[in-house]
């Protein structure tokens, strides 16, 4: 595989989420390469021929067990395995840091850098929809976890007798004129109302709040929310890179 030319600070990021695994390469602060996998195997990594690149360091973040097989493929890489004990450039005020998802923490780290000195709400629309607040003084406080679009559609199909399984699509109508449209209206509009509601509540507490929208399902809402938001598709990847750099500099 042909990779872009890299410098002396090439960072490998592996982010294993609930649905997808992302592998990214940064040349210092610039994202130069990104790939998605439904299920990442050691064979997939071998096919990428990452061993041909002079990788300065790498970070692995996983919602499941950390893949030791991936570490063995690139044994000479300086790896950082992200967990709740890993130093990060913000203060984590979460009461149970060991249960906090790496993606939520990484998103908060990136948000604190993107909007230095501002209170930021991060909405990550993935398998679950998470809402996370990080203050202008770089304190991560916590947030909320809500079912994502796929979970909502599957829930209606699984726990009812006749409702069909619908896939996520853009839907602009408030009224559904058949069962399919009614489900789309309920799930898509209901999720949008939820997001707008969280933003409104947080703005009452933090008047100068900035809001970032990220995640695979962000495309359904980035143009439809009433509030002014900033869309950053690779927020978590950027946050993981920042955590890696922070630990390399310590």
Question: What tens digit of pLDDT does each residue of 142-197 get?
Answer: 999 999 999 999 999 999 999 999 999 999 899 999 999 999 999 999 999 999 99
**Does position 230 have pLDDT exceeding 60, yes or no?**
yes
Give the pLDDT of residue 37: 86
Note the pLDDT tens digit of each residue in 195-224: 999 999 999 999 999 999 999 999 999 999
For 45, the token pair is 């990594």
**Does position 137 have pLDDT exceeding 90, yes or no?**
yes
Tokens 């570490």 sit on residue:
71
Q: Looking at the annotation, which residues are catalytic?
A: 103
**Does position 237 have pLDDT exceeding 70, yes or no?**
yes
For 76, the token pair is 């000479």
Percent of the chain beyond pLDDT 70? 91
> How far apart, in whole angstroms, are the C-alpha atoms of residue 82 and residue 102?
7
> How far apart, in whole angstroms, are the C-alpha atoms of residue 68 and residue 18?
18
Residue 139: beta bridge partners?
Answer: 91
**Domains of the chain with CATH codes:** 10-81 (3.30.420.40), 91-235 (3.30.420.40)
pLDDT band at 1 (very low <50, low <70, confident <90, very high): very low
Give the pLDDT of residue 6: 52
* Of 138 and 249, the one with more pLDDT: 138
Q: Which positions ≥6 away from 135 have C-beta within 8 Å?
A: 119, 141, 206
Note the pLDDT tens digit of each residue in 2-59: 445 555 688 999 998 878 889 999 998 999 999 988 877 767 777 777 767 788 899 9
Give the pLDDT of residue 9: 83
Residue 122: beta bridge partners?
Answer: 132, 212
Query: Is 150 within 8 Å of 127 (Cβ atoms)?
Result: yes
pTM of full prediction above 0.85: yes
**Does position 75 have pLDDT exceeding 80, yes or no?**
no
Residue 60: beta bridge partners?
Answer: 14, 81
For the chain, what is the mean pLDDT?
90
Residue 65 CB neighbours (<10 A): 7
pLDDT band at 63 (very low <50, low <70, confident <90, very high): confident
Strands lying side by side in the sheet with 210-214: 91-92, 139-147, 128-134, 120-125, 210-214, 230-231
Nearest to 123 by CA among 112, 111, 113: 111
| Range list of H helices, the chain | 42-48, 68-73, 102-114, 149-158, 179-184, 190-205, 235-249
* Of 38 and 84, the one with more pLDDT: 84
CA–centroid distance for 46 within its chain: 25
> How far apart, in whole angstroms, are the C-alpha atoms of residue 244 and residue 124?
21
Give the pLDDT of residue 67: 60
Give the pLDDT of residue 52: 75
Query: Is 191 within 8 Å of 199 (Cβ atoms)?
Result: no
For 223, the token pair is 């143009």
Give the pLDDT of residue 135: 98
> How far apart, in whole angstroms, are the C-alpha atoms of residue 33 and residue 23?
8
């Amino acid at each position: 595989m042909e990779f872009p030319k890299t410098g002396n600070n090439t960072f490998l990021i592996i982010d294993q989420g609930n649905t997808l695994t992302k592998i990214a390469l940064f040349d210092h602060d610039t994202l130069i390469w990104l790939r998605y996998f439904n299920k990442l195997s050691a064979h997939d990594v071998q096919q990428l021929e990452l061993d041909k690149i002079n990788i300065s360091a790498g970070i692995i973040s996983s919602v499941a067990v950390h893949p030791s097989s991936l570490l063995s493929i690139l044994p000479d890489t300086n790896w950082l395995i992200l967990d709740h004990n890993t130093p990060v450039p913000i203060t984590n005020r979460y009461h149970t840091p060991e249960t906090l998802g790496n993606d939520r923490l990484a998103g908060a780290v990136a948000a604190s850098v993107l909007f230095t000195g501002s209170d930021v709400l991060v909405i990550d629309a993935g398998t679950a929809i998470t809402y996370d607040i990080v203050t202008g003084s770089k304190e991560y406080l916590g947030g909320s976890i809500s079912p994502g679009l796929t979970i909502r559609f599957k829930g209606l199909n699984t726990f009812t007798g006749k409702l069909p399984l619908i896939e996520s699509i853009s839907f602009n109508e408030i009224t559904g004129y058949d069962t399919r449209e009614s489900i789309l209206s309920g799930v898509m509009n209901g999720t949008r109302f939820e997001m707008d509601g969280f933003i409104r509540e947080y703005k009452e507490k933090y008047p100068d709040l900035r809001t970032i929208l990220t995640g695979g399902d962000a495309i359904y809402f980035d143009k439809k929310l009433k509030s002014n938001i900033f869309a950053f598709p690779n927020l978590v990847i950027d946050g993981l890179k920042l955590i890696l750099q922070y630990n390399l500099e310590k």
